[in-house]
Structure formats: structure tokens, C-alpha cells
Amino acid sequence: MTSLLAEMFGNTRRFLERLGALAWFSLQVLRQAPAAALRPRLVVEQVYHSGALSLVIIMTCGLFIGMVIGLQGYDLLHRIGSEDALGVGAALSLLKELGPVVTALLFAGRAGTALASELGLMRATDQLSAMEVMAVDPMQRVVVPRFLGGLVAMPLLTAIFIAVALFGVQLVGVQFFGIDQGQFWSQMRGAVEPGDVYEGLIKGLVFGMSCSLIAVFEGYTADPTAEGVARATTRTVVISAVVTLVLDYILTALML
Amino acid sequence: MKQTLQTAGATAPAADADNVAALHGVDFAIDDKPIFRGLDIAIRRGEVTAIMGPSGTGKTTLLRLITGQLRADVGRVVVDGRDVAGLSRRELYAMRRRIGMLFQNGALLTDLDVFENVAFPLREHARLPERLLRSIVLTKLQAVGLRGAARLKPQQLSGGMARRVALARAIVMDPHLLLYDEPFAGLDPISMGVVMRLIRSLNDALGISSVVVTHDVREISQIADSSYILSGGQVVASGTPAELREHPSPVVHQFMDGLADGPVPFHYPAPDYVAQLLDRSEAA
Amino acid sequence: MRQSRAIDVSTGLFVLLGMTAILFLVTQITNRDFAWGAESYRLTAQFENIGGLKAGAPVSMAGVTIGRVESIGYDMQAFKADVTMRIDARYDRIPNDSDASIYTAGLLGGQYVGITPGNAEDVYHDGDRVEFVQDAIVLENLISKYLFSQAGKDQAAATPAAQE
């Protein structure tokens, strides 16, 4: 019994230690962000790696989620005779919740793991140490550009995801089930406010910040071994997912 | 440009003028595990100094103390007459620009090709016209014999080639101190010969000082001017390779001659052999 | 360096795509009937019962949104709900005998204020109060009205029978 308590206590203490390290690390990254922005070449490269290379998965998943929403939504609304409201429901749920959250989870899986494993590998092969010895600050040269790349990419990916998903919804609803196209869009326009769009984009930005920070942190502080890198990659996805959903609740509560 | 530092209880020995780097009475521990105790090492200018010892004696840690990546708990680490611990961040970075380090596996940046890897310090620290930069990089690659490999990627290089590229990178800023971390580890005899030749010739041709951390006794003895043998966190012997070969201490003797058993025992501590065997058969 | 040129182009395309998506979302799927923050003026109205009317609910004429409910308060002197509305300045010719009623949008929809124009020459100005109002329809009142009217009919039917 006491050993269980001791283990829990140890876990809690380790958790708090890690949390503190993450907070401190994030502060460093944010503090150095403006300086790193002075080297746009590095940031552009990272926007490419985190954003452009994630396009395929984002658009594919967006399309299919949109189509599923179309199917399920139509089925549901059909029972109460309000199929025309499919556009409204889909747009609002995608904009405010599904879009930012699913994009963040996909981002963590594709770009987050890439960032973490890349940095972890650089740590394990002494590349970061070599940079230090060459009087190049690895934070500036390697970490912060990757953070900024993810930060820029996420809101854009979120918008693309939502747009493609809406296309998927209308593909199923209008093209397939025959909902009136005019009704579909006009009802949507009637109910969706610019504020809803901004809500979604703000969430995308916040999630981008959190997922990118977690990814670079895990990679940078990974154990310099093969298992260490693998563990860092796994932790990135798990922690990003949990943090995203927690932040989602907080943001939704704040913005409502 | 030697600065006299007022550090509690330390006097600046006259020998420091001849030393490009030195450790005075250094204690260092990681997570309460002591690595060094009262370590005194002097790296003389213009020489190739070998740091040898069994695995795990913290030889890489020593290099990190010299570059300032780690801080000594007790004692002073002096580079170019200045205490590393007292340097500001900018001064530390300035110092590091004059030091070159060769890592055990090269530590080349994997997203850059050979040319860009060697050019990396130049691009980061100096604003050179592209043609001048190109000349410098190619010259350094020529010095290590890899000018023809300039466009290959690190993944395409063999271990020995990667290390040579890393060496070219280490000398591209014309450092006055070169640190080598296990440069012979895992190399075939030819590559080993190449690296040996490079270490010695670079040291003499460029007029620099070199510190080689290794346990390849045979190789380093051919090129080192002076050597230190570390064991148990302290210096157990120092001198020229010839002196060390004649050294009376059994620790040194075992290390230099590669004997399987001696002060460093063959058997990991274990209970009595017969007793353990009998216990098991009785339990069965 | 060819490779970095390709990366630049790809990144540029990606950013362009993202911006286009954002633009699409903001312009194509939101209602732009009412430009919030434009020039507007205030009208007030007092109701016995506002039902489920909330701040931010639309104010419309003939089904077209011409404004929003800015705030809802309670008048302790008149014991009525005090509704303040913001009307877009474009619609500045509402006759001052128009009435304001509270309607429900659809079966499950939220409630809104509908203004039916009157015939007066003069129009409402900033700060005017709409005098002619119709409260929200409350279900319980409907039911009790129905029950009372039923009871009245029964009684009327019973009395002539009793009189016979």
C-alpha cells in the first residue's frame, strides 16, 4: 500500500517537474521568437515542413469528415424534417469545434511527431551539442524556427480543413441527397456569424502554439538514445491530444 | 592577453602562460555521482595532448568542461588564461568560436550536404562573399582529402568519411585549440591511419594545440606529445607516451598493455562461486 | 540553391491556399446582412413579457434584419421589461406609430423583435420609445386562456340548458 502511495507521489513529483520544465522552456522559446523571425528563411522552411507537407492528410481527412457529417446530419435531420438545416449545423460544428480540434490532433500526429523525432535525433547524435560548441545557439537556430513554423501553419491548416469539410458536406447533402443548394447555403449564411469564424481561427492559433511547443520540448529534452527518441515521439502525440482537448474546453467556455 | 582572476584560494601558476587550457583542482559530479576529484590537467600550447583511461571515466565530460558546456563544482577551468566559469554568455560564445571540436560520430547536420556542413560556422558567424566562402570550404575539404565529396549528404558517407568532414568543419574557423572525442573509435585500420596523420599534421601545419580523448593506446602513442591517464576520477599518470610505457603503476601497466585482469578486475563483483552453484542445485 | 527555391514556392502556395480558405469562410458562409459596428441609432420598448428574448437577438422588418437587441433591463417603476434596440442607420424612416412584437423564429428557433410599420408621417429618432408593443406568446397563458374559454363555452351551453 505504501509503495503504491510512494509511486503515486513520485509520479506526481515527476509530473510537476516536467510541467515546470515545459513552462520554463516555453518562456525561453517565446522570448527568443522575435529574434528568430529575423531569419525568415529558416521559418519558411519550417512552415513548409509542418504545413505544406501536412496538406494531404488534412485535406483528405477534412473531406471525409465533411462527408460523414453530411451523411449523419442528413439522417438525423431527415427524421424531423429539417434537412435544409444541414448546412447550418455542419458549418457551426466544424467552425467552432470539429475543425480546430481534429486539425490539431492530425497536426500533432503528423507534424508534431516529425518535429519531436527530428529534434530528438539531433539531440541523440550530438548535433545540438556540436552547435553549442560552434557558438551557435541551438534554440535560435533550430528550436524557435520550428515552433514558429508550426504556429503559422496551424490556423491555415484549420481553415483549409473546414473549407474542404464543408465541401464534403455539400457533396453529400446537395449532390447526393438532393437538398436544395440555395437553402443549404442561405440557411448557413443566416446563422453563421464572422465571430464564429474568428473563434475557430483563434482556437487553431492556440492549438498551434500548444502542439508546437509540446513537440519541440519533447524532442529537445529527449533522452539521447533510440528509445528516448521513440518515447518522445509517443509522448508528443499523447500530451498534445490531452492538452488540446483541455484547452478546447477552456477556450469554448471563455468564448461562449 | 592574460587576465589575472581573483578566485578564492587559487593562485595563477606561471605555467599557465604555456598552457592553452588547464584544469586546476576540479571536482565534478553528475546527480551526486562523482566523476572528477581534484583533477589537475595542463594542455600545453602547440602540442598534441592525449587523455586516456578506461571507458566511463568521464573523458567526454572533460571536454565539455573545457568548452564551458558544463560547469565545475569545485576548482577552475582556465582557457586562454581566463576562467571559463566567469565568462559572460557573449564571451563564452566568442571563446568557443576559437575552439574546434570533433565529436565521436561526427555530429554532422543531417539536413545539409557536406559542403554546407563545413560552411555552417562561416555562414553563422561571418558575413563573407560567397566566392571567398567557397574557397575556404574547398580548401578545408582538401586538407582532409574530401574535396570531391562536397555535394554528398551525411547519410551517404562512411563513418570515417563523416568524421573527416566533421574535422574539416572543426577547422574552418581556424581555431587555435582542437578537441577530439574518441576519433579512432570504430574505424578500419586505413581510416585510423588517415585520422592519425590528419591530427598530427594539422596540429603542426596550423600551429595549434590538440586534445585527443581516446582509449586507443597504440594509435595515440604514435602521435601524442604528452598524455594523461585518468582512472577513478583522478590523474593516475602523466608524461610522454614513452614514459607511460615504463610507468611502474599496475593501473597504468594494465591499461597501456591491454591486460584482461589487474587493478581493473575481470570479474564483476559477485558472491562466492561455489556457494551460488550449490544453492541453486539444492533449491532445485 | 534549387531545393530552397522549390520549398519557397510550395510554402507560398500553402499560405495562399490557407488565406483563400480563411477568406472563403469569412465571406461566403457568414451573414453579411448586418454590418455590425456601422452607424446606428437606439430605440427602446417596454414589454409585459419578453419570453425568451435575449440580447443580440435580431430586430427585423418584413423579415429583413435591420438591427439587434442591445440590452434588456427591468423597469422597477413601470414593472415592465425594458428592451433597448440598435437599428442600422440605413433604416431611418420607421414611422413613429409602428409596433414592435416578439416573435419566435421557426419551431425551435430563438425569439426576435419584429417591427410592423405604421402610417404616421413622422419617423422614429435616436432614443425614441416604441409605444405599440405586443408581448411574447407564453405557452402557459395560451393554455389557461384556452381552458377559460372552454369553461365559458360550457357554462354558456349549460345556462341555456338550465334555463329551459
Yes or no, beta carbons of A127 and B94 under 8 Å apart: no
More confident residue, B60 or B280: B60
* CB within 8 Å: B107 and A135: no
Phi, psi angle pair for B182, to nearest 5°: 50, 60
DSSP A25: H
Confidence of residue A10 (pLDDT cuts 50, 70, 90): confident
pLDDT (average), residues B234-262: 82
Q: Which range has the worst mean pLDDT, A90-94, B19-23, B175-179, B208-212?
A: B19-23
| Local confidence band at C2 (pLDDT 50, 70, 90 cut-offs) | low
Look-up: residue for cell 490556423?
Answer: A155
Among B61, B65, B87, B110, pick the best mutation site for testing chain A contact (most A Cβ within 10 A): B110
Of C4, C14, C19, nearest to A52 by CB-CB distance is C14
Neighbouring chains of A at 3+ CB pairs under 8 Å are B, C
The pLDDT score that the predictor gives to residue B238 is 86
Write the DSSP symbol of residue B57: S
Q: How confident is the model at residue B13 (pLDDT cuts 50, 70, 90)?
A: very low
Least confident range of A119-128, A241-250, C60-69: C60-69
> Which has more confidence, A38 or C109?
A38
Chain B residues in contact with A127 (beta carbon < 8 A): 107-110
Cell 508528443 belongs to which residue?
A236
Mean pLDDT comparison of B49-53, C140-144, C148-152, highest-scoring range? B49-53
**Burial class of residue B237 in the structure, from the number of CB atoms within 10 Å of its CB (0-12 exposed, 13-18 middle, 19+ buried):** buried
Minimum distance, in Å, between the CA of residue B11 and any CA atom of chain A: 28
Give phi and psi for B240, each to the nearest 5: -75, 160
Q: What is the pLDDT of residue C32?
A: 57
Percent of chain B with pLDDT over 70: 93
The answer on pLDDT for A61 being more than 50 is: yes
What pLDDT is recorded for position C34?
47
Report pLDDT for A105. Answer: 97
**Is A133 in contact with B124 (Cβ distance < 8 A)?**
no
Residue C127 zone, left/alpha/beta (φ > 0; ψ -120 to 50; rest): left
What is the average per-residue pLDDT within C19-33? 79
Higher per-residue pLDDT: A85 or A240: A240
pLDDT classification of B2: cutoffs 50, 70, 90: very low
Q: Which residue of A has its CA nearest to C29?
A: A189
Give the integer Cα–Cα distance in Å for A54 and B10: 58
pLDDT tier at B14, thresholds 50, 70, 90: very low
Q: How far, rounded to the nearest angstrom, does the alpha carbon of residue B24 sit from its chain's CA centroid? A: 18
Name the 3-class secondary structure at B87. coil
pLDDT confidence of residue B3: 40
Across A60-64, B22-26, B269-273, the highest mean pLDDT is recorded for A60-64
The residue count for chain A: 256
Q: Tell me which of A145-149, B223-227, B235-239 is least confident.
A: B235-239
State the average pLDDT over residues A102-107: 97
Residues of chain A with C-beta less than 8 angstroms from the C-beta of C16: none
Phi/psi of residue B29, nearest 5 degrees = -135, 145
Return the number of other C-beta atoms located less than 10 Å from residue A76's C-beta: 14
Chain A: residues touching B (Cβ < 8 Å): 121-122, 125-127, 129-130, 132-137, 141
Closest CA–CA distance from residue A222 to any residue of chain C (Å): 28
Nearest alpha-carbon partner for B51 in B177, B214, B208, B249: B214
Neighbours of chain B (3+ CB pairs under 8 A): A
| Residue linked to cell 436544395 | A180
Residue with the bigger pLDDT between A256 and A70: it is A70
In this complex, the residue of C7, C17, C29 whose CB is nearest that of residue A188 is C29
Q: Which of A49, A115, A134 to mutate to test the interface with B (most CBs of B within 10 A)?
A: A134
What's the CATH code, domain B10-94+214-252?
3.40.50.300
Nearest to A165 by CA among A123, A247, A103: A103
From CA A13, how far away is CA B267, in angstroms rounded? 38
Which of A153, A164, A201 lies closest to C22 in CB terms? A201
Inter-helix orientation angle A194-220/A226-255, to 10°: 160
Contacts with A, C 56-95, CB within 8 Å: none
Average pLDDT on B174-189 reads 90
Contact criterion met (CB < 8 Å) for B121 and A127: no
Closest CA to B231 of B25, B27, B51, B33: B51
Residues in chain A within 8 Å Cβ distance of C38: none
Average pLDDT, chain A: 91
The predicted-structure confidence for A131-144, as pLDDT tens digits, reads as follows: 999 999 999 999 99
Predicted confidence (pLDDT) at residue B101 exceeds the cutoff of 80: yes
| Contact yes or no for A152/A201 (Cβ under 8 A) | no
- Best of A133, A137, A139, A140 to substitute, by most chain B Cβ atoms within 10 angstroms, is A133
pLDDT at B284: 45
> CA distances (Å), A151 to each of A58, A184, A240, B46, B132, in order?
16, 33, 14, 49, 37
For residue B135, the tally of other CB atoms under 10 A from its CB is 12
Neighbours of A8 (CB within 10 A): 10
| pLDDT-derived band at C31, boundaries 50, 70, 90 | low
Inspect the interface and report whether the beta carbons of B101 and A136 lie closer than 8 Å.
Answer: no
> Is some CB atom of chain A closer than 8 A to the CB atom of C21?
yes
Tell me if chain C has a CB within 8 Å of the CB of A156: yes
pLDDT in tens, B131-172: 999 999 999 999 888 999 899 999 999 888 999 999 999 999
**Residue range A108-123: average pLDDT?**
95
Q: Average pLDDT, stretch B77-91? A: 88
The answer to whether residues B212 and B178 touch, using CB atoms and an 8 Å cutoff, is: no
When pLDDT is averaged across residues B111-136 and rounded to a whole number, the result is 92
Q: Is the pLDDT of residue C36 over 60?
A: no
Span of A40-44, B42-46, B90-94, C93-97 with lowest mean pLDDT: C93-97
Read out DSSP for A28-61?
HHHHHHHHHTT-HHHHHHHHHHHTGGGHHHHHHH
Whole-number average pLDDT of chain B: 85
Helix runs in A135-177, H state only: 138, 144-170
Residue C4 with chain A: CB contacts under 8 Å: 41, 45
Q: Say what the pLDDT of residue B244 is.
A: 83
pTM, whole model, 2 decimals? 0.78
Chain C positions touching A155 (Cβ under 8 A) are: 18, 22
Is residue C52's pLDDT more than 50?
yes
Instruction: Report domain extents, chain B.
Output: 10-94+214-252
Percent of chain B's residues with pLDDT above 90 = 31
Q: Look over chain C and give the mean of its residue pLDDT values, rounded to a whole number.
A: 81
Residues of A numbered 45-64 whose beta carbons fall under 8 angstroms of chain C's beta carbons: which are they? Answer: 45, 47-48, 51-52, 55
Task: Encode pLDDT of B45-62 as tens digits.
Answer: 999 999 988 777 788 889
Rounded CA separation A215/A235 (Å): 9
Instruction: Indicate if the pLDDT at residue B12 is higher than 50.
Output: no
Which of C14, C18, C25 lies at the smallest CB-CB distance from A197? C25
Nearest by CB to residue A130, choosing from B94, B97, B103, is: B103
| Mean pLDDT value across residues A157-168 | 95
Cell numbers of B29, please? 559530479
Of C164 and A168, the structure prediction assigns the larger pLDDT to A168
User: How does strand C111-116 pair with strand C64-75?
Assistant: unpaired
Closest CA in chain A for residue C65? A190
- Residue A50 CA to residue A154 CA, distance in Å, equals 8
pLDDT tens track for A194-236: 888 999 999 999 999 999 999 999 999 999 999 999 999 999 9
Chain B nearest-CA distance from A48, in A, is 14
| DSSP class per residue in B108-176 | --TTS-HHHHHHHHHHHH----HHHHHHHHHHHHHHTT-GGGTT--GGGS-HHHHHHHHHHHHHTT--S
C25/A contact by beta carbon, under 8 A: yes
Give yes or no for residue C109 having a pLDDT over 80: no
**What pLDDT is attached to residue C38?**
65
Mean pLDDT of C39-50: 86
The separation between the first and the last C-alpha atoms of chain C, rounded to the nearest angstrom, is: 111
Phi, psi of B126, rounded to the nearest 5 degrees: -120, 145
**Domain boundaries defined on chain A:** 41-255
The owner of cell 586538407 is B143
Q: Decide the pairing of beta strands B226-231 and B177-181.
A: unpaired
